[in-house]
Amino acid sequence: MKKSLIMTLVLVFVLGIGCTAFAGPFADVPAKHWAYDAVSKLAQAGIVDGYGDGTFRGDKTMTRYEMAQIVGKAMERSDKADAENKALIKKLADEFAQELDSLGVRVTKLENKVGNITWTGQVREWYQWQDQGTGDRTGLDTRILLWATAPLTKDITFVGRFSSWSGWGDRTMDDDGDLVGRVGSTVEMDNAYLQGKNWTLGRQPITLGKGLVYNAGYNNDGVTFTFGEQVKFTGMAFKNILGENMLAANVAYQATDNLDLTAVYAKNREGDFGLDMVDTWALGFGYKGLKNVTVTGEFGQNNADIAKIENAMWGDGFKAPSAWTIQAKYKGAEWKKTHTWGFWVGYRDAEPGFNALTGDPLWETHLGVLGSMDNVKGAEVGFDYTVFNNAVFTFNYLDLESNDFWEDDLKGLTAQLRYFF
């Protein structure tokens, strides 16, 4: 009897400690906490799948303990995340460190990786054709990208990217006619920047709004600073890929679960003749309230002196040229889900002098087909498909024409296979 009583008391004691340690009480994570958006992004990337039943209850307020469980899963799969999502996982791990410790997930495991470099990569095989110019109008290219991510401190991460782009079969010879390499195969580090909680510094990707005014993922040297939660304000000062000194402001507002709004202003330093080329504002939106459909659009205007002069020469009088773009996409290929697919249609119209780079919300478009959002209008269609895990095939066709009779029309298509490792 005594043994049974002792065992019962021990069992009650152990269960009491266990319930206190693992069942609560845990405070709720507030409904507007940034962690919900962070977990949603990780779920969309296929890094976490929510609760044990494979669902993510985005409409349910979670306790810090429940959130820590999801963060723990994300930490286990961090090797599958890209640089941006790795930084997101680290931020979540710092936020829920105490709860993770109670689960037996040691955040120090991440801290021990400070100074270590994580490598990820992507290969793109491109085919392009364009109905413009003389000579060979087709191209076959291979592009290899390697990302290096290294935590430097608890709050600062270094992100770098090596890039190599070359045409199929292209060769270059030295003075003696000997083969010395491939055209365009020189490796460059087109990203090398520090990333803090709300700032970046160095050579980095820059996208303003929905991409109408500026969208370049490499060779932008400068600094950005972001503040705000539901409304995010970002100020930027950088030298762009054309060597122009730029100042820009970006506002992103999550109006509802299905609607986000953006506002952009960008200006470059005046050139040698005292005339600026970019003095541009834009308003954009993204809407996903229709089943399986996402609609993205943006309108902008360039008030720079040179822009007005160019529009007077080739367009419709001495006025600030404007541009707009809209796209509707049905579903979409998911990198982690084989045989998923998407289809989109879009239209763009830019008056002479708008001078935007690249002005393309579809980053799949090859720069050889579309270099800038300037003096061009027309439609496009596209399709993407996940061939196998981490590999997506993309096809898009553009039927464009110029806004003046001096320029040739531009028709082109690109097809590419991209795969991550």
Q: What confidence tens digit (pLDDT) does each residue in 232-260 have? A: 999 999 998 888 899 999 999 999 989 99
- The arithmetic mean of pLDDT across residues 261-279, rounded, is 80
pLDDT at 135: 53
The proportion of the chain whose per-residue pLDDT surpasses 90, expressed as a percent, equals 34
Angle among Cα 88, 93, 96 to the nearest 5 degrees reads 125
* DSSP-assigned beta bridge partners for residue 414: 128, 396
Q: Are 278 and 327 found together in one domain?
A: yes
Residue 4 lies in a domain: no
Residue with tokens 């195969």: 185
Give a yes or no: residue 9 inside a domain: no
**In the prediction, which pLDDT does 271 show?**
59
My answer on whether 145 and 283 are in the same domain is: yes
Report the distance separating Cα 27 and Cα 21, nearest Å.
14
Per-residue confidence at 15, pLDDT binned at 50, 70, 90? very low
As a whole number, mean pLDDT of residues 56-81 equals 76
Average pLDDT, the chain: 79
Helix (H, G, I), strand (E, B) or coil at 87: helix
- Whether 174 and 85 map to the same domain: the answer is no
pLDDT per position as a tens digit, 117-176:
888 899 989 888 877 655 567 778 888 999 999 888 888 999 999 998 887 776 554 455
Last residue of a domain, one of 111, 143, 162: 111
pLDDT of residue 59: 55
The pLDDT score that the predictor gives to residue 361 is 54
pLDDT top residue among 401 and 160: 160
pLDDT in tens, 29-61: 777 788 888 888 888 888 887 544 444 555 567
Q: Does the pLDDT value for residue 86 go beyond 90?
A: no
Q: Identify the helix (H) or strand (E) that includes residue 11.
A: helix 2-22
Q: Classify 414 in phi/psi space as left (phi over 0), alpha (psi -120 to 50) or beta.
A: beta
pLDDT in tens, 372-382: 788 888 898 99
> Which of 90, 13, 281 shows the shortest CA–CA distance to 5?
13
Model pTM score: 0.69
Question: Of 54, 81, 111, which closes a domain?
Answer: 111
**What band does 226 get if pLDDT is binned at 50, 70 and 90?**
very high
Residues 65 and 92 in one domain: yes
Give the separation between CA 42 and CA 19, rounded to whole angstroms: 30
Do the beta carbons of residue 145 and residue 122 sit within 8 Å?
Answer: yes
Q: What is the dihedral of CA 93, 94, 96, 98, to 10 degrees?
A: 110
Q: Of 156 and 20, which is predicted with more confidence?
A: 156
pLDDT at position 301, please?
96
pLDDT score, position 11? 41
**Dihedrals φ, ψ of 179, to 5°?**
-70, 125
Give whole-number Cα distances, 167 to 125, 144, 290, in Å: 10, 12, 41
Residue 315 or residue 224, greater confidence: 224
Instruction: State yes or no: pLDDT of 8 exceeds 50.
Output: no
Predicted confidence band at 21 (pLDDT cuts at 50, 70, 90)?
very low
Q: Is the residue at 6 inside a domain? A: no
Q: Which amino acid is at 214?
A: Y
- How far is 98 from 115, CA to CA, in rounded Å? 23
Q: Is 8 part of a structural domain of the chain?
A: no
Does residue 10 belong to any structural domain of this protein? no
Q: Which of 111, 136, 151 is the last residue of a domain?
A: 111
Instruction: Report if residue 198 sits inside a domain.
Output: yes
Q: Which of 19-28, 76-85, 189-198, 308-317 has the lowest mean pLDDT?
A: 19-28
The CATH number covering residue 196 comes to 2.40.160.10
Give counts: helices (H), strands (E), the chain.
7, 18
Residues 68/97, Cβ–Cβ less than 8 Å: no
pLDDT of residue 324: 93
| 206 shares its domain with 70 | no
**For residues 384-391, average pLDDT:** 93
Look at residue 270 in the predicted model and tell me its pLDDT.
66
Q: Do 82 and 151 lie in a common domain? A: no
Alpha-carbon span 288 to 284, nearest angstrom: 14
Please report the pLDDT score of residue 362 as a whole number.
53
pLDDT digits (tens, 9 = 90+) for 304-359: 988 888 888 876 778 899 999 999 999 999 888 899 999 999 998 988 888 887 75
Q: How would residue 261 be classed by pLDDT, with cut points 50, 70 and 90?
A: very high
Sequence-distant (≥ 6) Cβ neighbours of residue 352 within 8 angstroms: 310, 311, 313, 314, 315, 321, 374, 375, 403, 404
Structural domain of 67: 25-111
* Together in a domain, 183 and 289: yes
Dist. CA 170–CA 371, nearest whole Å:
22
Q: How many domains does the chain have?
A: 2
115 pLDDT above the threshold of 60: no
Same domain (yes/no): 128, 212: yes
Q: Are residues 90 and 190 in the same domain?
A: no
